Amino acid sequence: MSRRDTLAHLFAGGCGGTVGAILTCPLEVVKTRLQSSSITLYISAVQLSTVNGGAMTPVATPGPLNCLKMMLEKEGPRSLFRGLGPNLVGVAPSRAIYFAAYSTTKERMNSMLEPDSIQVHTVSAGMAGFTAITATNPIWLIKTRLQLDARSRGERRMSALQCMRHVYQTDGLRGFYRGMSASYAGISETVIHFVIYESIKRRILETRAATRMDQENETTREASDFMYMMMAAATSKTCATCLAYPHEVVRTRLREEGTKYRSFLQTVSMVFREEGFKALYRGLTTHLVRQIPNTAIMMATYELVIYLLDR
């Protein structure tokens, strides 16, 4: 791959990730709150504040709409964009590194294995995920801490710099890499997603090429191609997310401040034992509602930017 092609994939990946992150930030915050171990206590506290002399009683895990309502009532609309700063700082380099690593590895694997085979897509997606996770984990830890920082209206909120300082003072440099084991486990989701996406994409392009009769509708064809790419990305991401979702919950638990969770397997075991199997899928609905359009937007933007740069 030439230097120009590598830069093109870096730029396209960054653009795609940034657009998707901005449009779906509120859903990201709600999802993170639902995944955390403190969500039940948070909802209980809000409910008790409206009842004089009430006693703490077990409260069922809230749904996405209830969580959203409580956040708006207690913290205000700005709470829905908690962690957006680190997200924007991290999403562009993360996606840029990811897509560049994916494209570079894919090109090299194509020369060693059967071109565009499942093996090529699997190795490429795995290497891309590993590279991006290792490089950007500290940013995502800060984002998660900020999203879990629930404060009432009027209270001064922790900034990203204050959060970084606090993490370093309490846990040192190692603190910035908490949850990385769960992120590495999540590479399986990335691999599944890209294997399905590339398969659907190849079939779409083959079908479109076979049905193309002339060049008169070139603009319409190009626009519709990007819509098909969005559908392919949404379909593949849905399948991958449903299969690999528990790592998301585990990662959030590991990144919580003062958490009792220590490792990936220990967290899976503890959540299952204390809260049941359903807890490992807490926030899945919100995650899908966010991730499907986010992935579709990201992949379509990526394909569009690559197309425009190659013209």
- Cα 55 vs. chain centroid, distance in angstroms? 37
Q: How confident is the model at residue 92 (pLDDT cuts 50, 70, 90)?
A: confident
Residue 11 has a pLDDT of 79
Q: How confident is the model at residue 295 (pLDDT cuts 50, 70, 90)?
A: confident
Find, among 233, 225, 228, 241, the residue nearest to 298 by Cα: 233
Radius of gyration of the chain (CA): 21
Considering only 51-60, 167-176, 226-235, 275-284, which range has the smallest mean pLDDT?
A: 51-60
Residue 173 in tokens: 């440099």
pLDDT: which is higher, 19 or 218: 19
Q: How confident is the model at residue 17 (pLDDT cuts 50, 70, 90)?
A: confident
Using the predicted structure, report yes or no on whether residue 22 has a pLDDT greater than 50: yes
Q: How confident is the model at residue 222 (pLDDT cuts 50, 70, 90)?
A: low
pLDDT: which is higher, 272 or 68: 272
Q: Which of 18-32, 90-104, 169-183, 226-240 has the highest mean pLDDT?
A: 169-183
Q: Which ranges of the chain would DSSP assign to H, the alpha helix?
A: 3-23, 25-35, 39-48, 64-75, 84-112, 118-147, 160-171, 180-185, 187-211, 218-244, 246-255, 264-275, 284-310
Instruction: Name the pTM for this structure.
Output: 0.72
Using one digit for the tens of pLDDT, what is the confidence trace for 225-245?
777 877 888 888 889 989 999
User: Average pLDDT, whole number, for the chain?
Assistant: 81
Using one digit for the tens of pLDDT, what is the confidence trace for 29-50?
889 988 988 765 555 444 544 4
What is the arithmetic mean of pLDDT over 272-286?
A: 91
State what percent of residues in the chain have pLDDT above 90.
Answer: 24
- Domains of the chain (ranges, CATH numbers): 3-310 (1.50.40.10)
